[in-house]
Amino acid sequence: MRHLHRTFSEPEESRFDQEIASPMQTQSIRRKSPEIKRPRRWYRPFVDLVYPRICVLCAKPIVELDLESLCDHCESQITPTTVSCLRCSAPLPVAGLGTSGATKKKCYYCERRKWAFRKAYCYTAYSGAAARAARKIKQPSCEPLAIELGKHVGLWLQTLEHFDAKQYDFVVPIPQHWIRRVIVRYNQAEVLAENVARELEIPVRRNWLYRTRLTDKQGTKTIVERRTSVTDSFGCKLAGELKSARILVVDDIVTSGATAHEAAASLRKSGASQVDIAAFARGVGSFNRKIATH
């Protein structure tokens, strides 16, 4: 159990993203599915003359008419994970253990953890360009990028054979504590949730979940510290009134799964019959690499 005390370092970038890569991952969702490309705006070149679009990751000019916040190169580096745990969506480097011809429904970590949520859907692995994008959308100035990534997640979910948007009644974002919200006045999870809900045509409920206390940032904590930090840190304004609702909770990043678990537990206690998680990125710290080899 010594590995449980290793630190989950979200900014970590390593060769793991190369290990989990497959031929299916060489293209982004936008390239694989022409039907989800944004309509080309005839007036865009004229607007660019006055307000040129700049990629938020590499600071190079964006020349493609159907891209808003990322250049073609950076956008192509953010690809969906194709081999992942069927329960927590942790990327797996070995084919046959996850979504590609899965022979195992849980990863090494899930077999030792009881989640309050039924399943997690994470668009990509937290590494490379995806990790930089995930850090950027935490900034209010990068809200357009959060909108764009939220649309990507919503469109990607519709391409999954085992995902059915009709099974959900509501989309609920992971909330901020009211003190942090007053200071920042921006919640990237809420922006993602609004755009995921719009693509899936599901009502979004922004205020159903709330933080019962102000917690420290999770970025450099160990697994045990993360669990302790967020334990009983969520409440639901509709306690006992959800009446078997089926809910899709949206967050920007899932790393240890502690936040997702506590949020789902609060909704389940309030009467929700099913809670699933959708997120832009799944953490791939050193612990994920270790469990994927078992």
pLDDT for 194? 97
Encoding tokens for residue 137? 């959308």
pTM: 0.78
Cα end-to-end distance, the chain, whole Å: 14
pLDDT for 21? 36
pLDDT for 36? 44
- What fold is seen in the domain 2-291? Rossmann fold (3.40.50)
- Gap between the Cα atoms of 287 and 108, Å rounded: 10
Helix locations, the chain, DSSP H: 16-19, 29-32, 44-50, 72-77, 128-136, 143-157, 178-184, 188-200, 223-230, 258-269, 286-291
pLDDT in tens, the chain (294 residues): 334 333 434 444 433 333 333 333 334 544 444 344 444 565 666 666 667 888 999 989 887 767 788 999 999 999 998 888 889 998 886 544 444 444 356 687 787 788 999 999 999 999 999 999 999 999 999 999 999 999 999 999 999 988 999 999 999 999 999 999 899 999 999 999 999 999 999 999 999 999 998 887 766 666 667 777 788 889 998 866 788 899 999 999 998 889 999 999 999 999 999 999 999 999 875 544 443 333
pLDDT for 18? 36
Whole-angstrom CA distances from 143 to 13, 75, 129, 155 are 24, 16, 17, 18
Q: Are 168 and 53 in contact (CB under 8 A)?
A: no
pLDDT for 32? 43
Give residue limits of the domains in the chain.
Answer: 2-291
- Gap between the Cα atoms of 47 and 100, Å rounded: 43
Beta strands in 200-257 (DSSP E): 209-211, 234-236, 246-254
223 closest CA partner among 256, 254, 253: 256
For tokens 């599915």, the residue is 33
